[in-house]
């Protein structure tokens, strides 16, 4: 009884200690002091409740830091779950689309997961830190879904977003920076490899992953090691052109890489208020992940049924648009008249020197009918819409493929 009372007191004390969140609606990340010191544009945005830089000094130059030097991007706000236990592999195989048995320790894969109707709840990356220990990173929050799916599995699931700081170090000199920083053995990491390295009396997990289509790494460390990790990279990067960047620059790079963003390029099932906004993996270009041979997983039956009946209505495509005006959120037409889809993201690609876009089209457009597609661009110029109908061609993704991303050993620049 006394023990139970003490436990209650501890829980109460823990609750009472966390009341001040209403005073600071946007949290700082563990790297905030460093980013604040570098911040020149005061251009913040809300990333999952964190005060994150949209740009730091110049959106355009930040993009070139990704493609020419090394760019540091704070990914701490990304939602992170730690999944461990005897059945962790079997559990994740049940939840996600890909075959987790094929994901070896020390490897990462890009995956997605669905609700029972086969509608995508999110996409994300799964890190196998040890045989029975995984980290799942995602855009949205899924703890109830993960816990409900874990019934019958010997597995422990913990949300660790605040405890774990994350950094993306991306760009041609990113390897050289890590090497200079003394992470011995980092040259052995191939794309989607991960390893642990000593840092400041603790450990940092470095993976050769990223969201830029470039040579790059992601580093995860306990929040208390964040500042010393930043400083270590910053110092090592001094002669390699390291710059801190915001989301705007990253977004350009990810579009060139043809990568999609949840709730920007598709609506996740938990956020879809309108019944027709949900998407199956095949409809957003993630069908390749689905492994129907691995046994049951959430959404499997619905996906099999939809594939058999041909009932899926959408397809996500890469577009190359004529001319140079970005077609962001433009309506896509067939023969300039029939509305067949919407552009979710578009930029002029500095690296490809092409006008690129991601678009969601209604079938048969985008799979069987691929010719005669047009986008209607409204370009606001000095308080007037310049309206254009431009030809759009379906092209394979990524729009930009860089040999240095996968080169082994990784290059110096």
Partner 1 sequence: MKNWDAIIIGGGHNGLVNACYLQRAGLDVLVLEKNDWVGGAAVSRSLAPGFLYSNCSYVCSLFRPEIMRDLELPRFGLQVIAYEGGAVFTQDGDYLANYRDHHAHRREFSRFSARDAEAYDRYARDVTRQCRFIQPFLMRTAPDPTSLKPRDLGELLYLGKKFSGLGAAEMAQTLRFWTMSISEFLDEYFETDVIKANFSISGIIGTALGPMSPGTAYVLLHHYMGEVDGSVGAWGYARGGMGAVTKALAASFEASGGTIRTGAAVDQVLVRNGKATGVVLEGGEEVSAKLVVSNADVKRTFLKLVEEKELPDTFLRRVKNFKIRGSSGKVNIALDSLPEFPALPKDAPSIRGDLHFTDSVERMDRAYDDWKAGKWSADPFLDMMIPTTLDPTMAPPGKHFMSCFVQYCPPKVEGRDWTDADRDAFAETVVSQIADYSPGFRDRIVHMEVRTPRELEAEVGLTEGNIFQGELTFDQLLFNRPVPGYAQYRSPVDGLYICGSSTHPGGGVMGAPGRNAAVEILRDLKHSSKHMSPAHDVI
Residues that bind partner 1 (CB under 8 A): 8, 12, 14-16, 18-23, 25-27, 46, 48-49, 117, 140-144, 147, 158-159, 270-273, 275
Is there a contact between 73 and 53 (Cβ–Cβ < 8 Å)?
no
Which SS3 state, helix, strand or coil, does residue 226 take? helix
The C-alpha R_g of the chain, in whole angstroms, comes to 22
In the complex with partner 1, the residue whose CB is nearer, 63 or 81, is 81
Q: Please name the residue that has the structure tokens 């020197």.
A: 353
- CA–CA dist 248, 258 (Å, integer): 15
> What is the distance between the alpha carbons of residues 261 and 72, in angstroms, rounded to a whole number?
19
Cβ closest to partner 1, residue 20 vs residue 293: 20
Nearest to 118 by CA among 262, 307, 255, 271: 307
Task: Return the number of the residue (302 or 395) whose C-beta is nearest partner 1.
Answer: 302
Minimum gap (Å) between residue 50 Cβ and partner 1: 8
Question: Minimum CB separation from partner 1 for residue 40, in Å?
Answer: 26
Name the phi and psi angles at 281, rounded to 5. -55, -40
CB 169 within 8 A of CB 70: yes
Spatial contact of 388 and 317, defined as CB atoms under 8 Å apart: no
Query: Minimum Å distance from CB 331 to partner 1?
Result: 16
Smallest gap from residue 159 Cβ to partner 1 (A): 5
Instruction: Write down the least CB distance from residue 139 to partner 1, Å.
Output: 12
Distance (Å, whole) CA 139 – CA 300: 22
- CB 107, CB 126: distance < 8 Å: no
335: Cα within 13 Å, side-chain hemisphere:
3
Nearest distance in Å: CB 272, partner 1: 7
Instruction: For partner 1, give the closer residue by CB, 141 or 363.
Output: 141
Query: Is the bond leading into 409 cis (omega within 30 degrees of zero)?
Result: yes
In eight-state DSSP terms, residue 281 is: G
Q: Rounded to the nearest whole angstrom, what is the least distance from the CB of residue 291 to partner 1 in the complex?
A: 25
């Amino acid at each position: 009884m006394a023990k139970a009372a003490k436990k209650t007191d501890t829980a109460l004390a823990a609750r009472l200690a966390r009341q001040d969140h209403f005073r600071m609606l946007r949290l700082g990340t563990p790297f905030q002091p460093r980013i604040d010191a570098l911040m020149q544009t005061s251009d913040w945005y809300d990333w999952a409740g964190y005060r994150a830089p949209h740009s730091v000094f110049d959106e355009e130059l930040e993009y070139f830091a990704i493609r020419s030097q090394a760019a540091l991007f704070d990914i701490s706000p990304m939602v992170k779950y730690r999944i461990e236990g005897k059945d962790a592999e079997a559990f994740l195989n049940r939840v996600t689309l890909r075959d987790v048995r094929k994901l070896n320790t020390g490897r990462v894969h890009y995956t997605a997961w669905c609700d029972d109707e086969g509608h995508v709840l999110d996409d994300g990356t799964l890190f196998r830190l040890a045989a029975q220990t995984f980290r799942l990173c995602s855009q949205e929050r899924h703890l109830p879904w993960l816990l409900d799916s874990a019934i019958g599995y010997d597995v422990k699931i913990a949300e660790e977003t605040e405890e774990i700081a994350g950094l993306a170090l991306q760009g041609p000199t990113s390897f050289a920076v890590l090497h200079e920083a003394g992470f011995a053995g980092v040259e052995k990491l191939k794309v989607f490899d991960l390893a642990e390295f000593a840092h400041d009396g603790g450990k940092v997990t470095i993976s050769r992953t990223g969201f830029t289509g470039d040579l790059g790494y992601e580093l995860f460390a306990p929040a208390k090691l964040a500042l010393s990790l930043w400083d270590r990279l910053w110092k090592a990067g001094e002669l390699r052109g390291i710059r801190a960047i915001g989301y705007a620059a990253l977004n350009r790079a990810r579009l060139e890489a043809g990568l999609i963003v949840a709730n920007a390029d598709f609506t996740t099932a938990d956020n879809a208020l309108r019944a027709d906004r949900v998407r199956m993996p095949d409809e957003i270009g993630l069908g390749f992940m689905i492994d129907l041979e691995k046994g049951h997983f959430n959404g499997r039956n619905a996906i099999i049924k939809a594939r058999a009946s041909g009932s899926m209505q959408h397809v996500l495509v890469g577009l190359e648009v004529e001319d140079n005006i970005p077609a962001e959120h433009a309506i896509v037409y067939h023969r300039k008249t029939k509305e067949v889809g919407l552009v979710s993201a578009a930029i002029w690609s500095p690296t490809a020197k092409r006008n690129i876009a991601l678009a969601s089209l209604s079938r048969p457009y985008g799979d069987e009918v691929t010719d005669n597609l047009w986008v209607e661009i409204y370009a606001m110029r000095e308080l007037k819409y310049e309206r254009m109908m431009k030809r759009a061609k379906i092209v394979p993704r990524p729009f930009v493929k860089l040999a240095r991303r996968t080169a082994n050993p990784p290059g110096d620049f």
